[in-house]
A = this chain, B = another copy of it.
Amino acid sequence: MKDMLGRDEAVSVQQALRLILENLSSDSLPEEKVRLEDSYGRVLSKDVVSPEDLPDFSRSTVDGFAVCSSDTFGATEQSPSYLNVSYEILMGEEPDFELRQGEAAKIATGGMLPQGADSVLMLEHAQFVDEKIIEVQRSVAPGENVIRKAEDVGKGELVLGKGHRLRPQDVAVLSGIGLTEVFVFKKPKVSIISTGDEIVPAGAPLKPGFVRDMNSYSLAGLVLREGGIPLVKGIFRDDYEVIQDVVRQSLGDSEMVLITGGSSVGVKDMTERIISRLGKVLFHSVSMKPGKPMIAGVVENKPVFGLPGHPRAVVVCFEVFVRAALRLIAGMKSEKFRITLKARLTKSIHSASGRQEHISVVLDEKNGELWATPLLGKSGLISTLVKADGTITIPQDSIGIEKGELVEVKLF
């Protein structure tokens, strides 16, 4: 489809996202075995089924007395029950007796319940009458203050599913069921190629007309945050053969290629020609601001993105498109929900109709409510992103948002 000026028409954000996700497969990365201490943030490549019960025995969750609950039924301050404290159970010890009616065994938090006991009376609910007898002033329900054998995790139970990204508590449960290693997908490697005849590295002297490379650094950080490995390839001349060579080489050592800088028409066309020669172009342009001149393609089942050169556009394109592709490649289950905060706009925003617009905002709390102040800088300014706490999105068919309206803020 061409627009009135003879250029290819932009696809909507939703169409673009669908095209990307439909053309990628999630099961491409090999797995590796890592030690638990190295598994934080990694993605499970297999379901984890528990090899043992957790706990392996019925445990007390308080300091007190293991009892037969029926001995305490009906006990009150006015009409207490009395029990003989016949035993004391030490930590890490297996009781070698069976508790009988009318008996209690002193037990600490984590202690193993003896045969015959089904609950634990808390220390503060018992009064010693003498060294061997306690008065019970309230009844204890069966199972009270006890974690039964296998109550937390049962042997053979699915603990965590393939595609889950491990959080601290997830690693803890893996240790709890006796694992010391776990199978995860290898981290996806992402090549980052910066193009532009006017781009120099941070350390170089700045000649007139030149600017320093910023996009390699924002992209590398974003890739790291999603659990990938950035391969920063450097800065390359706006030359078809040069760029094609580094793209080819990058396809050999990474699972995704990001080319940034091609925001002028000439460079964008070059990126497009390279992708279509090596593979398939998915779209040339997207109805989004900033980020319109973005290109996406697939070469050898690997996504290749041509991102605009503007620093803010690069970050928005990553958040909206590259992130979803990277998570898919990494083997991650799709997100249940995206983290957003609700805030009220401090001033009205008008939007050019026909494009999804992303606006950076600063958040402030006033009278217990969050307020979002739009930073309406030019899209080329990186300082807008540095001052911002997050972004809001104005839908493609909206003409703007009024002051005071509630908006959803995606946080950085």
Contact = CB atoms under 8 A, between A and B. Distances in A.
B91 A386 contact: no
A196 B110 contact: yes
A251 interface: no
B385 A169 contact: yes
A221 B169 CA distance: 8
A168 B311 contact: no
Nearest to A164: B386
Interface in A210-254: 210-222, 224-225, 232, 238
Stoichiometry, as copies per complex, reads 2
A298 interface: no
Contact of A36 (B168, B202, B266, B412): B202
Contacts of A310: 61
Contact count band on A: 35 or more
A22 interface: no
Interface in A137-162: 147, 151-153, 159-160
A92 B169 contact: no
Most B CB contacts (10 A, CB to CB) among A56, A109, A213, A265 go to A109
A97 interface: no
Nearest to A218: B172
Contacts of A370: 337
Nearest to A384: B152
Interface stretch (A8-16, A77-85, A176-184, A325-333): A176-184
Interface string A83-113: 0000000111110000000000000111110
B365 A337 contact: yes
A92 B168 contact: no
B212 A178 contact: yes
A175 B110 contact: no
Interface of A: 5, 36-37, 40, 52, 54-57, 59, 61, 63, 90-94, 108-112, 123-124, 147, 151-153, 159-160, 167-180, 196-198, 201-203, 206-222, 224-225, 232, 238, 263-266, 309-311, 315, 336-337, 339-342, 363-365, 370, 378-383, 385-386, 389, 411-412
28 contacts: A5-B124, A36-B217, A40-B220, A54-B212, A61-B310, A61-B379, A63-B264, A63-B266, A90-B197, A91-B198, A92-B209, A92-B210, A93-B209, A94-B207, A112-B209, A147-B381, A153-B382, A169-B221, A172-B214, A172-B217, A172-B221, A172-B311, A173-B385, A175-B201, A337-B365, A337-B370, A339-B411, A340-B341
Given A168-B217, A168-B221, A171-B220, 9 more contacts: A167-B221, A168-B219, A169-B311, A171-B217, A172-B215, A172-B218, A172-B382, A176-B211, A337-B365
A265 B63 contact: yes
A61 B292 CA distance: 13
The residue among A56, A177, A221 with the most chain B CB atoms within 10 A of its own CB is A221
Given A169-B386, A364-B336, A207 B175 contact: no
A311 B176 contact: yes
